[in-house]
Amino acid sequence: GAGVSQSPSNKVTEKGKDVELRCDPISGHTALYWYRQRLGQGLEFLIYFQGNSAPDKSGLPSDRFSAERTGESVSTLTIQRTQQEDSAVYLCASSLALVNTEAFFGQGTRLTVV
């Protein structure tokens, strides 16, 4: 595709349910990032993939959060047993794994836990 695509664009879920967020990066981009953005706030780093490997998972808030990437393409972010504090916009970005590379962002998935 022409840009980074995220789905769903909006998700409302009940507390305690599991959710899966999907990111389709730009073709050929080997680096992929997940960030969380709470209302009116900046970007909180969650996890970063280089190819299918995640060298840095330090941003995952708890063991309820996990992510994977396959085929150096699609990535999924899974949140188990969702809590109200998980409500936020989850942004995905991809970039070429080169120095001074631009990150291209999707429009995000707005997650609301009720």
Partner 1 sequence: TQLLEQSPQFLSIQEGENLTVYCNSSSVFSSLQWYRQEPGEGPVLLVTVVTGGEVKKLKRLTFQFGDARKDSSLHITAAQPGDTGLYLCAGEGSNYKLTFGKGTLLTVNP
Q: Is 87 a binder of partner 1 (CB under 8 A)?
A: no
Give the C-alpha distances (Å, rounded to integers) separating 112 from 63, 84, 90.
19, 8, 11
Footprint (CB under 8 A) of partner 1, residues 19-38: 31, 33, 35
Residue placing its CB nearer to partner 1 in the complex, 83 or 107? 107
Helices (H) and strands (E) in the chain, counts: 0, 11
Residue 5 Cα to chain centre, angstroms: 11
**Cα distances (angstroms) measured from residue 93 to each of 12, 31, 58, 114:** 22, 8, 17, 27
Q: How far is the CB of 17 from partner 1 (least distance, A)?
A: 25
Verify binding: residue 91, partner 1, rule CB under 8 A. yes
Can you tell me which of 24, 108, 109, 113 binds partner 1, judged by CB under 8 A? 108
Q: Does 103 bind partner 1 (CB under 8 A)?
A: yes
d(CA 58, CA 106): 22
Residues that bind partner 1 (CB under 8 A): 4, 31, 33, 35, 40-43, 45, 48, 50, 55-56, 58, 91, 93, 95, 97-103, 105-108
